[in-house]
Structure 1
Amino acid sequence: MKYALFFLIISTLSFSQKFSFIYETKYKMNTEKPNDINSDIMILDLEDNISIFREIEDKKTDSIKINQGNGLFKMGVEYQFYVRKDLTQNKIAKVITYIGNDYLLPIDENLDWKILSEQKIIGKYRAQKAEVSYGGRNWIAWFTTELPFSDGPYIFHSLPGLIISIEDSNNDYSFNLIQVKKGINLFDARSKSIKIDWKKYETLAQSYYNDPYNLNSKMGMRVTMTDANGNKMDISEMTKESQKNIAGKDNPLELNHKINYK
């Protein structure tokens, strides 16, 4: 009865208010370079039990896409962090943008949380520890009931409070709350998405690896590239270098869907 009342309060607050939660995200893309750490600032916008988690720059380009009909997106598929959640329906999906199209990848893996008794203060919030397995990784999370929203960064959700910190056991990925904003509008410029599964996801990734400069779509056209000094560049060598770079990024968050490029 106590938990039922708690989640009713969460649902009411989430429905009636708009919040944005800013996270610092750190991740390692190359297992052979453990000290090469990427850092991005990401935002979780929450409104009416719908949330979107994306990079701050993604949100800016989404705004451009709405207002001007265009926008730039990160290429490739494995390191795009755009996630849409419907907390009421428990529908979670990644949205992947590739060559002008948006693809919707449902996340069906169950989050079987284990809530522990350990507590500590993180920033100004009292947080409680929880553990879960997802994507072939074990995760340690800290959530707070002082922010009564059953949500969190990336695909993570369904704890009795906001997840303010979560990190995998290998210290490869971490998401840490750094700011809370109230009254920020949520908007979604990628609502017209093509639904795919993990098999199609792998096909998209392999397609990008095979043709990182999207030259196949330019067949019949003379394709030339130049550097900043106006010197002509060897496309085949550039492709090989890009493929080496793509294959070297061998540490995706979903390890159970790691792609072996060939």
Structure 2
Amino acid sequence: MKYLLIFLGLSSFCFSQKISFIYETKYKLNLEKPNNIYSDNMILDLKNNISIFRDSQDKKSDSIKLNNGNGRFKLGVENQFYVKKNLTQKRIEKVITYLGTNYLLPIEEILNWKITPEQKIIGEYNCQKAETNYGGRNWIAWFTTELPFGDGPYIFNGLPGLIVSIQDSNNEYSFNLIEVKKGGDIFDARTKTIKIDWTKYEILAKSYFDDPYDINSKVGMGKTVTFTDPKGNIMDISIKNKEMQNNILQKNNPIELNHKINYK
């Protein structure tokens, strides 16, 4: 495992300071191709018990939006990792960005942690093992009280210290801390949202699956999407729709396995 990049005197940080924790995130979306592993660096920004977890591209997109630019444009709703937490109020919310609209999905599943006596060193930190269930998966975490923040990657939180490493028992999703940074400001570019639940989340996903390239009616931008083959001939949109639908079906191993969508 990579050695963690740390700052001297980190344990003396006051809770009002802004800290960023960078996690190497690996996940398998297509179980028929188990060696096809996606990898992203995702960032947990934390200040005053408020945190935002997002991948590096989403953070860049948020920064651009706050400076009156155009952010990242997403089509589908699945496989998004954007999470806001208010640790004081014990409020966890997942943000789904779909066709320029931000949907707020409250996470109400309670994490019941079982802390075990087992310990090991990860990088520079003395860590202790804990286990929980979330999203239809069993999770094994390693946390350290040397970083006295009861937070962690994605929705995970509530332990006596920061989660340094966590993965599900099937080894399909993992988050591993690789760097710690201090300073800067925590910024939120997704404050205007539409609240949904898992039922509405599934409706959105199926709407996209049924007609992935129906940009004109979904966005209302008055644009027609066309595709051409290598010879420049216009392709039937139904062919591209079918290709996208097959891609969605192949990547249907969500982190919340208990909310896996049955498209057929």
The TM-score, its normalising length taken from structure 1, stands at 0.91
Aligned structure 1 segments of 4 or more residues deviating by more than 3 angstroms = 218-223, 226-231
Tell me if the contact between 1:44 and 1:153 (Cα under 8 Å) persists in the aligned partners.
yes
Identify the residue that residue 6 of structure 1 maps to in structure 2. Answer: none
Identical-pair percentage: 71
Identify the residue that residue 25 of structure 2 maps to in structure 1. Answer: 25
For 1:222 and 1:134, the matched residues in 2 are separated by: 41
Using a 3 Å threshold, how does the CA distance of structure 1 residues 66 and 229 change in structure 2: closer, same or farther? farther
2:135 aligned with 1:173, yes or no? no
Instruction: Give the secondary-structure state (helix, strand or coil) at the position aligned to 1:250.
Output: coil
Root mean square deviation of aligned Cα: 1.9
Instruction: Give the secondary-structure state (helix, strand or coil) at the position aligned to 2:60.
Output: helix
Taking the TM superposition and a 5 Å limit, the aligned residue runs for 1:1-262 are 13-14=14-15, 16-215=16-215, 217=217, 223-226=225-228, 230-262=232-264
Unmatched runs of 5 consecutive residues or more in structure 2: 1-10
Q: Encode CA deviations 1:98-130: one digit per residue, 9 max, x unaligned.
A: 111000000000000000010100000000000
Q: Encode CA deviations 1:48-104: one digit per residue, 9 max, x unaligned.
A: 111000000110011111102421144311201000000010000100001110000
For 1:117 and 1:31, the matched residues in 2 are separated by: 33
Instruction: Give the secondary-structure state (helix, strand or coil) at the position aligned to 2:199.
Output: helix
For 2:96 and 2:245, the matched residues in 1 are separated by: 20
Q: Provide the aligned length of Structure 1 versus Structure 2.
A: 251
Using a 3 Å threshold, how does the CA distance of structure 1 residues 219 and 182 change in structure 2: closer, same or farther? closer
Instruction: Give the secondary-structure state (helix, strand or coil) at the position aligned to 2:202.
Output: helix
Instruction: Give the secondary-structure state (helix, strand or coil) at the position aligned to 2:67.
Output: helix
Tell me if the contact between 2:73 and 2:99 (Cα under 8 Å) persists in the aligned partners.
no
Shift of residue 208, structure 1, vs aligned partner = 1.1
For 1:165 and 1:220, the matched residues in 2 are separated by: 46
For 1:179 and 1:233, the matched residues in 2 are separated by: 46
Q: Encode CA deviations 1:119-154: one digit per residue, 9 max, x unaligned.
A: 100000000000000000000000000000000000
Tell me if the contact between 1:74 and 1:80 (Cα under 8 Å) persists in the aligned partners.
no
Bigger helix fraction: 1
